[in-house]
Amino acid sequence: MAIQRLHLQTNEEILRLLSLQLASYRVEAEIIGFDDIPPLKDGIPSIREALATETFYGYLITEPDQQEPTLAGAISISRDSCVVTICRLMVHPDFFRKGIASSLIAHIVEEQEQLGAARFIVSTGSANLPAIELYERFGFVVRRVFTVPPGVSLTTFERPATSELS
């Protein structure tokens, strides 16, 4: 297991991420009862555009019978001054409930706090209870609940950096 920054320079690397993203966000779409979520519409051009504002990290698992490590999870963030927004968090369904999402969040929080982050923000579908429970375990609290057409509720969470908690 290794968490590393994904540079996503080739179409092959982007397609690997997109495969993971589609598998992961299809599950969220099913949970929230809405299949028109933006991550399900991404393609190579939109990921290339996202690279201008988002930094991607992958959770790679090396299996004994494989040449290439498996991209089991990924997270992307954007940063505006000392505020870090988690833009995407995805785990392939084959690797659910193995601590991958927790590891990715912990990695980002630790790394970004060392770089001076003061606050973290993340949003998810209000019906996505597994994601909500995960964010709450990391000290995120609800800041806003809003509805987007056609009546899907989203919740935005926020948490201060650890140094801000004391």
7-62 pLDDT, tens per residue?
999 999 999 999 999 999 999 999 998 888 899 999 999 999 999 999 999 999 99
Structure tokens at 8: 């996503």
Helix (H) / strand (E) containing 94: none
Of the pLDDT bands very low, low, confident and very high (cuts 50, 70, 90), residue 163 is: low
Of the chain, the percentage scoring pLDDT greater than 70 comes to: 98
- Is pLDDT of 166 > 50? no
DSSP 116: T
Specify the pLDDT at position 164.
52
Task: Name which residue leads in pLDDT, 68 or 156.
Answer: 156
Spatial distance between the Cα atoms of 23 and 18, rounded to a whole number of angstroms:
8
